[in-house]
Structure 1
Amino acid sequence: MTSFVGRRRELSETRRLLASSRMLTLTGVGGVGKTRLALRMAAEVRRTFPDGVWFVELAALHDSQLVPHTVANALELRQVSADPASDLAAYLETRRLLVVLDNCEHLTEACAILVSKLLAAAPGLRILATSRHVLGVEGEQIIAVPPLTTPTEHVAAGDAAHYESVRLFLDRAAAVAPDFEIGDGNREAVVELCRRLDGIPLAIELAAVWLRTLSPVQILERLDDRFRLLTSGRSAAPARHQALDAAVGWSHELCSPAEQLLWARLSVFSGGFDLEAAEQVCSGEEIPTVDVLNLVASLVNKSVVIRIQATSHTTAWYQMLETIRQYGAERLSEDQGHALRVRHRDYYRGLAERYAAEGFGPHQADWYIRLRREHGNLRAALEFALEDPADAAGVFDIAAPLWNFWFAGFLREGYRYLSRAIDLATESTPSRAHGLWAASYLALIAGDLDRTDTMLGEASELAERFDDDLLRARVAELRGHAVLYRGDLPAAIELLEDARARFRALREPLGEFDALVLLAAATFFLQDPRDGEFSQQALALTEQHGAMSSKGYALWCVGVASWRAAEYARAVENLRGCVRLFQPLHDLTGIGFGVQALSWCAASTSPDEDAARLLGASHAVWRTSGAKIDETSPYIQIDKRSQEAVAEAIGAAAFERAFTAGASYSLDEAVSLALGEYEGRPAPAGGPGRPASEAPGGLTRRQREVAGLLAEGLSNKEIATRLVISQRTVETHVDHVLGKLGLTSRGQVASWVAEQQAR
């Protein structure tokens, strides 16, 4: 959000080393600008890497075991096993990309192990890391990021701005005091200020913000006091550390006692916070709840806290730079820190409880977006609960109610938290029972079917022990789901109908909806005419409760039922509506189901290269989502039949080329293709993320034939007769031709064909 100042030499050196080596670490003191330099370099070299540049933020991560999962999530690879490092290595083996690992210093060993494995497996991979410490990886090149250049004591006013530190100060000053200029009256103070702060960007930015209320001379005077205080007690500390401590500490001293206290308490949050969380977790004992808003506003004005603009689905979000957060945390005693983490954990336990109560309703989309934003805090709360086996049962109360949040894109992570708690908190309690059910659900979707059966068996026993009707219904539904995945459709329907009846008796609309979706799927695969009835009932339930995110799955049910009934236009309309509902939530599993079903439609209505490409793109989306569907499942059986039909229509070689091209698409490209919005230019077969055809306008061979017949003035019925295909298939081809060429009428297609022939 702010301009990039200086660093010409560092950028040049970073670019040179990235070109000649595969592992580069930017080191330096906190606040020196390592992350900013890495981001700038990543933006400049992105075109060099055909498979992209990927940024992995590690500051909010504290569990070293989750480093491979976090990298996989950032790379949109969520279909990972219990050994995600090996999955990453296999995925990256043939790709050319740059991965930026930011803030590695607290996870040095885990990062080094993962990086070594990935570099050995993937010759086209380059890694750019930022860390206060080197990683110690073989072949690692190191750039020690220096402070910005600073002027000598005596420099002319016109020359001062040639130095990076002064330019940064002036740039940030313009944001808070637009009329500020450097001149004879303040030149020496500005120069001395940049020198005293040793050219450290964070320190300079913290000082510049005070130009709202102080002159450069006044800032320097107060900073001098801080340096004298530091020097008397820490004469052996490196100058750069003293400069940063001086700037942060001076900002701390200029805060009121209440602001200082809130700063320290806010350090408990990982990745940021909203006002509600700050009020609930940080108020009390000298800070009344009603004062938190004004105190947060004051810390924003002093650049201690950064405000992130709210969107239509969110409230304002606040963050602290890691250096600032750590400074605050150091101001808490061990007892204070522990008590604060307890309050933090309990707040997120309450948040999970509220989500479970409100998650199937009009605010469903807001909840999904909120939970994604709170991901770092959820991790922190869960990890704190797991530190002491006596508290591990608290994980069940947080992670289990969030089962469908994990399902939407963090399968392995949610499963890992619940599995660890199951191993530690072994006492038979209602919380453990529901934790077992949630873990079973995630295990099923992740493909761990044996563990699913074991955990579900214990959950069933506990449901009887505690006479828990809700858990009985959930167990019945999940057993039906598991049987469906294994392909025993009649047994699945029987279990799911029992589950639905139980949920209806309990007035649990989310459970009933899930059972209806699975019943619609099972009857669809069995070609049972009730699939349309179950689909409409699921859709009606979402509309009754205003659960517009769940409506995506209902539209999937309606779409596949319409496809089975040969109502292809209606099927495509509903399935694209399904994908569009899941997009803003980044529900990767839901998107996967939608794109997969659209590929089935394409294969049956227009078995051409576009259909083959979309079948491949469906695999790309599933790879990203993390869901793993067993080879025996009916989903896979339809995939296979669709692929065979297209391969027979266009030939095995052409199918393989187009399918492979689609399978290499990014998530965004795959979704755009499924929605009919893909605008990528054709490229040679096998090029990453690009169609294999090089035909004008990106048309396939069949679409070129249709365009030529349109130019002759033939109707859809006449084209169908000429090509010996159905009229509905012709309509689909015409839609694709118009869409790809960006035209709106058949007459425009005729003009386009004439132009191509003239060329």
Structure 2
Amino acid sequence: MTSVGSSRPAGNLPGELTSFVGRRRETAHAARLVRRARLLTLTGVAGVGKTRLALRVAAHVREAFPDGVWLVELAALTKDTLLVPTVANVLGIQNRLTVASMDALTDHLAAKQLLLVLDNCEHLVDASAVLASRLLAAAARLRILATSRQALGTTGEHLLEVPPLPLPDPGQPVSPRAGARGEAVRLFVARAALARPGFTVDADNRATITRICHRLDGIPLAIELAAQRVRAMPVTKILLGLDDYLEFLAAGSRIATPRLRTLRATIAWSYGLCTRQEQQLWARASVFAGGFDLDAAETVCSGAGIAKRDVFDLVAGLVDKSILTRTHDDTDTPARYQMLEAIRHYGHEQLVESGRLTAMQARHRDHYRFQAARAEQEWLGPNELPSFARLRREHPNLRAALEFCLTEPGQALTGLEIAAAMWHYWVRSCTHVEGRYWLDRAMALAPEPSPQLVTALKTGSWLALLQADLAAARSLLERARVLARRLGDELATAYTTLGFGVVAFFQDDLHRAVTLLENALAHHRALDDPVGVWLALIYLTMTTAVLGEPDRAVAFGEQCLALCDSRGASSSRTYALWVLSLGWWLSGDRQQAHRLIRDGLPATRHIDDRWVLAHHLETLAFIAEADDQHARAARLLGAAHSVWRSTGTPPSGPRYLALFHNRCEHQVRTVLGDQQFTAAFQHGTRLTPDQAVDYALDDDGDTSHHPLLRPKREG
């Protein structure tokens, strides 16, 4: 059996890309506060190192939080309404409900001993304060570590101002020991050595480096930017350039605090030392949210003075100057580039001044409209998994594109197109709440009849269905059906028939559901629409299984699996395996059902689809109970319970599984007794999704006898 602690540590803290210099006192103090205080906010000016310190502290205290340390980056968010869904998404709480997103979040965290790191709260300070208050009130063992340029101002908040890095005393002679004690000087030397290998501090440059760090007020970001220049010039010229820029900008600066003037001057100086094309790329890249890859940079930032073939070299130049940070994971995904928020903001100002902001936002929108449409076309095919992963990475950019469409006059129809094209993404990522948020806004702004509107109505109705908002689903389907007929859109008409069939299924009108779904299946086949065929077969398998017609369920399920296999659709295949396993289980062939689920379970790790994982775990519990593995069944029910909760679904699962679930739980509880059942069930609830998969695949966890070798027990 897989133990609770056997899988990789929970959390999403990124690795450090560069060495962490100094801050021993602040790190130790903040770590003590995090263990003692419920909410700690690190405050300080831009560029002072709040985020870096928070991540360092979080790594130091990770062992104190068995349920993980989770980083939620807020810089790219522009709307308060997206704060809760963003936190939920990071935590894997794939909420399917129309309302009560906060309730799903508090419910998930209630029993967790977890550290939540909210980074860059200053532009969402009120919403962040409300979020922190609600979560801390609901979860007694939760701790929150926030970074913000200002306090959140909520009850119980502890504040720790992050100061600039210590500097040697300017009134004392600059000695090697004094220089070594100054963390600002150490940071400059460390980053300079990265920029120019072999760079060291010596008697000739020590005083100049110290003056540079003093000139920059010990602000880490400013020091790092200046240190990068040693590749191109001696430190004496770096100091001279800083003096010129600081004096020039200080006179007319509208920024009140001297340290912000210093940072702005340093960024402006770095901007001035870039080539004209590097400056243009810096400004244009500020339209990205949450990072970008080279393909996006070439598509969005080229033209009007920048050839597409030159973008790579320009990006590399900005990486060398520490304007862009390059990140890369261990997968085959392309490298990504990011800007610190202060640097991105400066680039945005330059883009506004150039008069090209709207044009660049439109190019950004078009690129991500293409990405959304491409992913939609690749569902039910060999590229559906990488397409899904790509949309997950680009979620902040897709939000930015949608926000542009819904705030720029005349762009709402394009917003409809993008939000509707993300149908499968909203469903499989369980971001139903956010999907409906964008669709509702777009439909309100572009209500005129159009092909985009009918597609949006179809998408919105499907999201409403999966949220069990049947009244809204029916209303949207009625509008879609009328408009589809008016436009002569046969495919949209087929989808509305399918949607009404699913509504009937959720309302337990099973015979009517079968009739509608079979009509939809025939219509989609006639139109050669494999996605519609797949959906119809999935729900026909489920409906006939619940009706007590396992032979028909198996027949539909086998057609669905064959369709996935013929198209190389590995992600969609996982759904087909589950519905087919349900049919075989009901037919009495538990061995075949078990084999199918074991075939599908490993894939759930890759797609991170909690909805299909919960179905697999639940059905394995049914099989274990039938094979007299009662303790195993209880643990699997507990594991499924946690996953159901993370999706916003009732703990017993969807309504169509409730009968099977209740029968299974009653039988297991009767055999084990309440105390043993509760202990095994709670063990299952403590498993992470990865651990639950490991346990489900470990057939020897509860018995020395392989369950598939036992004689079948009918009933």
TM-score by length of 1: 0.86
Structure-2 change in CA distance of 1:729 and 1:647 (3 Å): farther
* 1:524 counterpart = 2:545: yes
Q: How does 1:430-441 map to 2 (within 5 A)?
A: 430-441=451-462
* 1:74 counterpart = 2:90: yes
Q: Deviations over 1:514-552 (max 9, x none)?
A: 212222222233333022222222222222222222121
Q: How does 1:463-482 map to 2 (within 5 A)?
A: 463-482=484-503
Shift of 1:311: 5.2
Q: How does 1:282-293 map to 2 (within 5 A)?
A: 282-293=301-312
Candidates 622, 625, 631, aligned match of 1:603: 625
Q: How does 1:347-426 map to 2 (within 5 A)?
A: 347-387=367-407, 390-409=410-429, 410-426=431-447
2:356 match: secondary structure: helix
1:294 match: secondary structure: helix
Tell me the residue number matched to 1:320. Answer: 339
Structure-2 change in CA distance of 1:560 and 1:235 (3 Å): closer
Q: Distance in 1 between matches of 2:654 and 2:60?
A: 46
Letter in 2 for 1:376: P
Tell me the residue number matched to 1:222. Answer: 241
Q: Distance in 1 between matches of 2:76 and 2:646?
A: 22
Q: Deviations over 1:684-721 (max 9, x none)?
A: xxxxxxxxxxxxxx965xx3xx58xxxxxxxx8xxx9x
Shift of 1:102: 0.7
Letter in 1 for 2:626: S
Tell me the residue number matched to 2:55. Answer: 39
Shift of 1:388: 5.0
**Are 1:520 and 1:557, in contact at CA under 8 Å, matched by a contact in 2?**
yes
Q: Distance in 1 between matches of 2:434 and 2:175?
A: 58
Tell me the residue number matched to 1:15. Answer: 31
| CA RMSD in angstroms, aligned pairs only | 2.5
Structure-2 change in CA distance of 1:209 and 1:627 (3 Å): farther
Tell me the residue number matched to 1:534. Answer: 556
2:350 match: secondary structure: coil
Letter in 2 for 1:636: A
Tell me the residue number matched to 1:727. Answer: 710
Tell me the residue number matched to 1:142. Answer: 159
Candidates 4, 18, 21, aligned match of 1:5: 21
* 1:640 counterpart = 2:662: yes
Structure-2 change in CA distance of 1:726 and 1:266 (3 Å): closer
Q: Percent of pairs identical after alignment? A: 43
Shift of 1:104: 0.4
Structure-2 change in CA distance of 1:33 and 1:606 (3 Å): farther
Letter in 1 for 2:55: L
Greater alpha carbon shift after TM alignment, 208-217 vs 178-187: 208-217
Q: Deviations over 1:580-614 (max 9, x none)?
A: 22322222323232223222222322432221011
Shift of 1:328: 0.3
1:26 match: secondary structure: strand
Shift of 1:86: 3.3
Q: Distance in 2 between matches of 1:422 and 1:600?
A: 43
Q: Distance in 2 between matches of 1:699 and 1:86?
A: 34
Q: Distance in 1 between matches of 2:648 and 2:330?
A: 27
Greater alpha carbon shift after TM alignment, 204-213 vs 494-503: 204-213
Structure-2 change in CA distance of 1:368 and 1:632 (3 Å): closer
Structure-2 change in CA distance of 1:349 and 1:726 (3 Å): closer
* 1:129 counterpart = 2:146: yes
**Are 1:589 and 1:626, in contact at CA under 8 Å, matched by a contact in 2?**
no
2:199 match: secondary structure: coil
1:161 match: secondary structure: helix
Shift of 1:72: 1.9
Tell me the residue number matched to 2:465. Answer: 444
**Are 2:621 and 2:632, in contact at CA under 8 Å, matched by a contact in 1?**
no
Tell me the residue number matched to 2:123. Answer: 106
2:70 match: secondary structure: strand
* 1:557 counterpart = 2:579: yes
Q: Distance in 2 between matches of 1:17 and 1:415?
A: 40
Structure-2 change in CA distance of 1:81 and 1:367 (3 Å): same
Letter in 2 for 1:676: D
Shift of 1:379: 0.8
Letter in 2 for 1:517: I
TM-score by length of 2: 0.91
* 1:115 counterpart = 2:132: yes
Q: Distance in 1 between matches of 2:669 and 2:396?
A: 45
Tell me the residue number matched to 1:204. Answer: 223
Tell me the residue number matched to 1:743. Answer: none
Shift of 1:728: 4.4
Tell me the residue number matched to 1:92. Answer: 109
Tell me the residue number matched to 2:9. Answer: none
Candidates 68, 76, 80, aligned match of 1:60: 76
2:607 match: secondary structure: coil
Structure-2 change in CA distance of 1:392 and 1:492 (3 Å): same
Q: Deviations over 1:433-476 (max 9, x none)?
A: 11111111111112212211111111111111111111111112
Tell me the residue number matched to 2:569. Answer: 547
Greater alpha carbon shift after TM alignment, 79-88 vs 243-252: 79-88
Shift of 1:82: 1.1
**Are 1:607 and 1:649, in contact at CA under 8 Å, matched by a contact in 2?**
no
* 1:514 counterpart = 2:535: yes
Q: Distance in 1 between matches of 2:300 and 2:195?
A: 31
Tell me the residue number matched to 1:164. Answer: 183
Q: Deviations over 1:179-218 (max 9, x none)?
A: 2221112211222222222221112222222333333233
Q: Distance in 2 between matches of 1:434 and 1:492?
A: 22
**Are 1:599 and 1:674, in contact at CA under 8 Å, matched by a contact in 2?**
no
